[in-house]
Amino acid sequence: MTNAVRYHKGIKVSEHHGTVEWTVEKIALGILMPLCVWAAWSVFTLAGADHQAVLDWFANRLNAGLLILTVVTFFLYVSLAWKVIIEDYIHKPGTKGALLGLVNLICLVLVAAAIFFIVRLALSSAPLPAGFGV
């Protein structure tokens, strides 16, 4: 297969780059939709509940697992969406690479922090040290 650019009637023919990312984005969205409905329903049912009821909700392994899956899928989707935006509108290779790396780093840090706090709540761990957080 050659790397020559192909044209049809003066229009560049697609090279099929990004089809895997597009597919992953659509699968992530398909997984995320029912998870968001579940999360919204959970928030609605926990509205007005006391602190212990919320801790009991997090202590349920199914709830904690589904919440972690929701967070990971959401940030995967966000990362892919921002990748498309950056690739479409940023044309300098250095800037594009830096922004893609920054977006991926931010998403990774947020996923790690979310999983950390979900697991802490699920295990009913001790609060954070004084001066760290609220």
Domain ranges of the chain: 18-122
CATH number of 18-122: 1.20.1300.10
pLDDT of residue 130: 59
The per-residue pLDDT string of the chain (134 residues; one tens digit each, 9 = 90 and over) reads 456 667 777 766 666 667 888 899 999 999 999 999 999 999 999 999 998 898 899 999 999 999 999 999 999 999 999 999 998 899 898 999 999 999 999 999 999 999 999 999 898 876 666 556 55
What pTM value is reported for the model? 0.80
| DSSP class of 80 | H
Q: Are 32 and 70 in contact (CB under 8 A)?
A: yes
End-to-end CA distance of the chain: 59
